[in-house]
Structure 1
Amino acid sequence: MSTSMYNASAKFNAFYNDHVVLRATDQTELKEKKDLNIDRLVSGLAEYNEEHKTKHTLIDHKIQGSMAMSTIVQNEENEYDIDVAIIFNKDDLPDGTIATKNIIVDALERKCKRFKTEPEAKTNCVRVEYASGYHIDFAVYRKSTDEDGNDVYEHCGSAWRNRDPEVITKWFNDSNTDSNGNIRKVVRLLKMFCKSRSGWSMPGGLIQSVLAEECIQSKDRIDETFYYTIKAIRDRLEDNKEVYNPKDSDSSLLLNAKDHQKVKNLHTRLTNYISKLDVLFKDDCTENQAFSAWKDFFNHSYWGELITETAENRIMLAKSYGGYTVEIVAQVEWNPGEFIPLNEVLGPIPKDKYIQFTAIPSFFDFSKVEWEVVNDGDECVEEKDLGHFKEGISVREHTAYRGVHKMICRVYRQGNIVCEDYVRVQIK
């Protein structure tokens, strides 16, 4: 093994700029949604105040979270979140946190029509959710002045707690500047990894940001910076899976068992998928192998498209991909001896069923049919659970793990892959 890593930085930079960083049009759309809902809140509060003879007046608002830290990444499902601190004078709000959040819900309900769900009071915010996948979290703050004339901010959660609405944003932006911008790059790339499989349940952006800031390994190349930082995060989580607020070392960011499990999931996924990058350190690592390794890691079509463009594959394609195809027939054994075509099953497949996959190539002189089972979901915790290979025209698989999985069929002729196809299988 070599001590130097295969240099894929040019393609890695293109991946980062074109497929990771949120597009300017999407950034503008998020800002417009934020502004629109602030206007709705102000208008709804005016109606509420007039009706109830109150004076709940918004005095300021501040962007928080991934939008403020500029770490939102492209997401095909548009599951973007916008975090906004809405600030009131302390004397203008009731003492109770539930009563305060209910006022915000009432004001928004007056102006938020035809939404996926009604505005909803959560423990730490009031949420407005769009049918397209966006959601906006309004974190409520009250402002007062202490005896020395300093501004004091309190956040409306299960109780009122002292919290500066901008302290985390300032911490992140200062740390990122000190790292020459590398922390933000790593966080964006780590988010892409954490979002790469639909069945995964992974920590939120703040926890990822804290881990990246703790473990940042700045190198000359972006691919090396990312690799060595996630390796350090993996090793850090091996020793300690607790994550604390970066501005309050006594305050854990893991509030319940689910949060702790998500951090364990991150450690497991990093352990499994970093090992797939070992090929990058082989002396004879080829361009095709490097792109394949990053494709396995990020599960993104960008890397797959690069593989088909490499010189060695262009030669193979020119010789062997002339019109060869394969059709996959998949049938679910719903009851013993009773088969239903997979595409006729409504919704996810239950566990403990068997699926028969049959390959029908468009030609007869093939030499081998290979199947690759690619498993996803948080029940696939061990390396052995993530997938395996089989050979044969027809194979049988058991639905064992919740998540969205893939069955890939590759047909060989004269030692080369001449065609492939796949089917997705969702298991509940």
Structure 2
Amino acid sequence: MFDCSKDVRAYHNQDVTLPKSEQDAMRDRRDSNRTRLRNGLEKASKPKPIEFVKQGSYAMKTMCRDLDNDYDIDDGVYFEKDDLVGDRGAEMTSLQARQMVRDAVDDGKFKCAPEVRSNCVRVFYEKGYHVDLPVYRRVITTTVFGEDVHYELAASSGWKRSDARDVSGWYEDERAASADGIQLRRINRDLKKYARSRYSWRGAILSGFGISVLTTERFQVNDREDRALYDTMVAIRDRLKWNLVVAHPVTPGDTITSGSDDAKARCFREKLTEAIDTLAPLFDADCTREKALRCWDKVFATTFFSERLEDEQRASVVAPAIIGSAALLGATAAAASAVSSAGGGRHA
């Protein structure tokens, strides 16, 4: 396979992973939202959250750059079960808990008002991104063995046993157990970037979480970044050939996909096959750097790789000219110095 390792790594660093400025901005948005929610709850004499827990791709650090700022920041808000009671003292339903959070976070300054969704409260921002606030309650029960603590999500079907920290912990465990947890995360981001590289794919392809699960299942470590990405693509595609079901990593019996012929998993399999076929010329004995980089451009629907080659070619033309000019200046200076040493010139 023609070696484009440095190019694939450069693409990840420049166009895939979020720059520090974006990461800082997201943290600021998250913190501002937490403050807004605390203030709204206090003003309405509602229960105080016991904690906030970042989750999803934001917590796993697998978010990818998006030109439209279509970022989904997940920030779970946790309450004590005993505090979530209605006006008449009855236990809050999952819907009432989400409505309480929606009302508290809406300070009237949003252009688009926050909405109650099936498993969260969504806060919209003008720049295109949004913050999802899943609502949880901590349940403490006393048994003969002592206290048992678990958490429940305010879902559309009612209170469902769940804790976002389980997913983040699972991902870190998978990275720690892999041959190269840092590269695994990079390849994970690259695959998510590929899945969102065409607007027409976005509603039809497997979710980012599903892609993360498959990446941990079939990650292929390699000293060459391009080979690690390609081999992982092939491994995931082959896995989806025999089974389209993707199990939830921390919820026993749950699946991320719907049934044995999930349309979104099938779409991801098909798009991986397209990428693998597109990269086939890189295995030809007469493959050139130009041809190889055009293939990577086609995979990610970008011009990054070809532009990188153009920059190299321009640099190769400019560099000899700069070296030649420097040599000429050096020779001129040396000649002048020799004349001066001989007696200051013809008028000495």
Do both proteins adopt the same fold according to a TM-score greater than 0.5, normalized to the shorter chain? yes
Alignment partner, residue 71 of structure 1: 62
Distance change (3 Å), C-alpha of 1:268 and 1:112: farther
For residues 235 and 218 of structure 2, the distance between their equivalents in structure 1, rounded to whole angstroms, comes to 6
Matches within 5 A, 1:177-326: 177-179=176-178, 180-181=180-181, 182-201=183-202, 202-254=205-257, 260-309=262-311, 311=313
- 2:96 is the counterpart of 1:99: yes
Cα gap change, 1:172 to 1:278, in 2 (>3 Å):
same
Write the distance in 2 (CA, Å) between the matches of 1:18 and 1:144.
44
Is the Cα–Cα contact under 8 Å of residues 287 and 310 in structure 1 kept in the other structure?
A: no
Q: How far apart are residue 139 of structure 1 and its match?
A: 0.5
Distance 1:249 1:302 in 2: 42
1:71-119 Cα distance to aligned partner (Å, 9 max, x none): 011111111110011000001114311111111111112x15133x211
Separation in structure 2 between the aligned mates of residue 306 and residue 34 of structure 1, nearest angstrom? 35
**Alignment deviations for residues 285-320 of structure 1 (CA, whole Å, 9 cap, x no partner):** 1100110110010112211312434659x99xxxxx
Overall identity of the aligned pairs, in %: 33
Indicate the structure with greater strand content.
Answer: 1
Larger radius of gyration: 2
Q: SS of the residue aligned with 2:134?
A: strand
Whether 1:143 and 2:138 are equivalent positions in the alignment is yes
Q: Residues 83 and 137 of structure 1 are in contact (CA less than 8 Å); yes or no, is this contact kept in structure 2?
A: yes
Amino acid at match of 2:195: C
Decide which structure has greater helix share. 2
Q: Which residue of 1 aligns with 2:117?
A: 122
Q: Verify the 8 A CA contact 1:292 1:307 in the aligned structure 2.
A: no
Q: Which amino acid aligns with 1:61?
A: F
Which 4+ runs in 1 deviate beyond 6 A?
none
Query: 1:422 maps to which residue?
Result: none
How far apart, in 2, do the equivalents of 1:78 and 1:170 lie? 27
What does 1:46-85 correspond to in 2, within 5 Å? 46-49=42-45, 55-85=46-76
Matches within 5 A, 1:377-416: none
Which whole-Å deviations, capped at 9, do the CAs of 1:373-409 have from their partners, x for residues lacking one?
xxxxxxxxxxxxxxxxxxxxxxxxxxxxxxxxxxxxx
* Equivalent in 15, 40, 44 of residue 40 of structure 2: 44
Q: 8 Å contact 1:288–1:310 — kept in the other structure?
A: no
Which deviates further from its counterpart, 18-27 or 299-308?
Answer: 299-308
Q: Is the 8 A contact 1:292 1:303 kept in 2?
A: yes
Note if 1:31 corresponds to 2:22. no
Shift of residue 249, structure 1, vs aligned partner: 4.1
Per the alignment, residue 173 of structure 1 pairs with 172
CA distance in 2, matches of 1:236, 1:68: 27
TM score, norm. by length of structure 2? 0.82
CA contact 2:184–2:219 (8 Å) conserved in 1: yes
Separation in 2, partners of 1:72, 1:174: 19
Counterparts of 2:265 and 2:44, CA distance in 1: 42
| 2:90 aligned with 1:89 | no
Q: How many residues align?
A: 303
**Ranges in structure 1 where 5+ consecutive residues have no aligned partner:** 50-54, 316-428
Which whole-Å CA distance do the structure 1 matches of 2:295 and 2:197 have between them? 14
Supply the distance in 2 between the matched residues of 1:135 and 1:71 (Cα, whole angstroms): 17
| 2:6/2:225 contact within 8 Å kept | no
* Alignment RMSD: 2.1
Q: Give the structure 2 partner of residue 386 of structure 1.
A: none
Give yes or no for contact 2:60–2:168 (8 Å, CA) kept in 1.
Answer: yes
> Is structure 2 residue 154 aligned with structure 1 residue 156?
yes
